[in-house]
Amino acid sequence: MDIKTLEQFIDSQGWSFYGIADFSSVQTKLQEHRSVFDEWVKKGFHAGMDYLPRMAEDRYSPDRKLPEVKSAIVLGATYSDGGPNSGPNCGPNCGFGRVARYARGRDYHKVLKKKLITFSDWLKSQDPKAETYVSVDSGPLADRVLAEAAGLGFFGKNSCLIHPSKGSFFFIASLLTTLKFEPTAKKPMPNCGDCTKCKNACPTGALKGGGVIDANRCISYLTIENKGAIPVELRSKIGNRLFGCDACQEVCPFNVGRAHHQEVIIPELKSVGGVGESLDLAEILSIRTDDEFLKRFAGTPIMRAKRFGLLRNACVVAGNSGNKSLIPALKKLIESESDGILREHAYWAISQLSNSNG
């Protein structure tokens, strides 16, 4: 297949950039990262994400999913619109909780997976013998490693894959195929050097150096993947972060001042199409049923936390807000909820607000 035809199709789908790697180079990168991953798990840094070690064999041996794989087409889709100070003015007594940039639009898994399926169908229309396997940060595929192999960036000290000119605010989507494509040219990559801005900016000290994150202390894990209580000693450090955290990326020199390189091309990934940059805490605290939660957040990344997780997070952010007008909503939550963890978080928030100077 002509590479120009392939590029035209990729551009027509709205991807921000792409790279192609032959599978042998992908295997080399995967082998390099496997030992790092195993050590990370051994130290318990994966926290409650037990599905990660369970999927390890498939993650690091993608040919188990597509035995005759020859090429990996890896695509990037930027999602950064809005900055750390955008949205409602969240000074003292703020009644809003901040949403991480990636989660402000529609659910990227669904949006980008649909595009990959269309891409796969198009490849098969060009060559009926083609076989494919697609992944968007949800299946057993180490997408960041594939992206590194395809020349899309390097691993930063915050563990994010960083594109040298576009930064790290982008999603990664991968398409493995039995078709053989010429690999895209790989440019020399920079590195973080002696910069430690991400580590210094992490509110909870989750960055351990060398690109290693202790998920047990990571706000993104605690507010999204975590199914239990948020440790008391970390709650005040969460601040107004209701869902996810961008602290380590926002200070990165490869992101600062790069907004002109981070245009969101795919409409569904823009904030305007999803939940936006912040959510009203009183509104969140008043959600009483899963049906209400579904009606409000269906089709957005917020669904990942479920009603329990979002209300738990809202209690923590409310407790940090200094906004005593939220106390009645917290009391009503205690009266209506039977879940012990939610009730404890609400009691904690009331205690924090009662003792604040707000």
pLDDT in tens, 195-207: 999 999 999 999 9
Q: Tell me which of 7-11, 55-59, 278-282, 348-352 is least confident.
A: 55-59
Q: Which pairing describes strands 96-99 and 241-243: parallel, antiparallel, or unpaired?
A: parallel
121, 137, 246, 280: the catalytic one is 137
- Taking residues 277-290, report their average pLDDT: 97
**Portion of the chain with pLDDT greater than 90, in percent:** 90
- pLDDT tier at 111 (50, 70, 90 boundaries)? very high
Distance between CA 72 and CA 75 in Å, rounded? 10
Please answer whether residues 216 and 45 qualify as being in contact, where contact means their C-beta atoms are separated by less than 8 angstroms: yes
Burial class (CB in 10 A: 0-12, 13-18, 19+), 270: middle
- pLDDT tier at 258 (50, 70, 90 boundaries)? confident
Q: Which residues pair with 20 in a beta bridge?
A: 73
Q: Which long-range contacts (CB under 8 A, 24 or more apart) does 330-339 make?
A: 330/285, 332/285, 332/286, 333/285, 336/288, 337/311, 339/308
pLDDT at 85: 46
Q: Residue 83: pLDDT above 60?
A: no
pTM over 0.85: yes
Half-sphere exposure of 236 (CA within 13 A, CB side): 6
- pLDDT tier at 88 (50, 70, 90 boundaries)? very low
DSSP letter for 270, please.
S
pLDDT at 91: 58
Q: Residue 181: pLDDT above 90?
A: yes
- Taking residues 222-228, report their average pLDDT: 98
pLDDT at 92: 61
- Taking residues 164-172, report their average pLDDT: 96
Q: Residue 122: pLDDT above 50?
A: yes
Is 127 designated active site? no
Domain ranges for the chain = 3-83+97-177, 197-253+274-354
